[in-house]
Amino acid sequence: MSSHAAAAVPIVFVVDDDDTVRHALARLIRSAGYRVESFPSASAFLECSARADAHACLVLDVRMPDRGGLDLQRELNATSASLPIIFITGHDDTTTTVSAMKAGAADFLAKPVEDICLLRAVENALCKAAQAMSVRAESAAFRDRLARLTPREREVLALLVDGLLNKQVAYELGITEKTIKVHRARVMEKMEAHSLVELARATDKAGVSLPARQPDCR
């Protein structure tokens, strides 16, 4: 298998301090055609550079000696790492389950985990990861296009997506409506947008902060 083909296969990270359980989980998941990387502790997992921006999910034990699963989840959430987590536990603890799910866990399974349940959870988690990757890619592409704009074009963009008409934008910026039309055409071209509605939605989806509209002191 080429390195490109290998890179296209989703990765399932398995973190469990029990060697027997960890190896069994890895073997099962690998048999379903996924790449698997397993770790005996949360600390060992955090040292893994392969997890960054990977199409992946994490199968994580709740109770471990160095860092528990919830501790690792909090650390990952703090770094904005969008890695879907499937928790597994040998202890029926409703409080822990609720805490994990509220913090964004993809699933919570009790040991011994049924093969079909785990593989279904992995499939769902990887679908969630793929969606998150798509959103990040769209946002990055939008920001790249936004960087092409001049400062004036960014001002025009901000006012247009705020709902102002060409003549209102011209008034706000103290330039002619004809000049605004030129800027608007360039903005649409550089942003590769077909309509202002599309542009406004993309701006909101990417979470981009545009220049704030100044209060009218006239």
Q: What's the whole-number average pLDDT of the chain?
A: 86
Q: What is the pLDDT of residue 4?
A: 45
Q: What is the pLDDT of residue 200?
A: 86
Res. 217: pLDDT tops 50: no
Whether residue 155 sits in one domain with residue 133: no
Whether residue 152 sits in one domain with residue 183: yes
Res. 183: pLDDT tops 70: yes
pLDDT band at 212 (very low <50, low <70, confident <90, very high): low
Percent of the chain with pLDDT strictly greater than 90: 50
pLDDT (average), residues 124-136: 90
Reported pTM: 0.72
> For position 44, which CATH number holds?
3.40.50.2300
Domain boundary among 137, 171, 186: 137
pLDDT band at 135 (very low <50, low <70, confident <90, very high): confident
HSE, CB side, 13 Å, CA atoms: give it for residue 103: 23
User: Residues 16-34: pLDDT tens digits?
Assistant: 999 999 999 999 999 999 9
pLDDT band at 13 (very low <50, low <70, confident <90, very high): very high
Res. 54: pLDDT tops 80: no
- Per the domain annotation, does 69 fall within a domain? yes
User: Residues 77-93: pLDDT tens digits?
Assistant: 888 667 899 999 887 67
Res. 120: pLDDT tops 90: yes
Q: What is the pLDDT of residue 90?
A: 80
Res. 5: pLDDT tops 80: no
Res. 189: pLDDT tops 90: yes
Domain boundary among 88, 110, 137: 137
- Domain span at residue 166 reads 148-206
> For position 159, which CATH number holds?
1.10.10.10
Q: What is the pLDDT of residue 125?
A: 95
Strand partners, 32: none
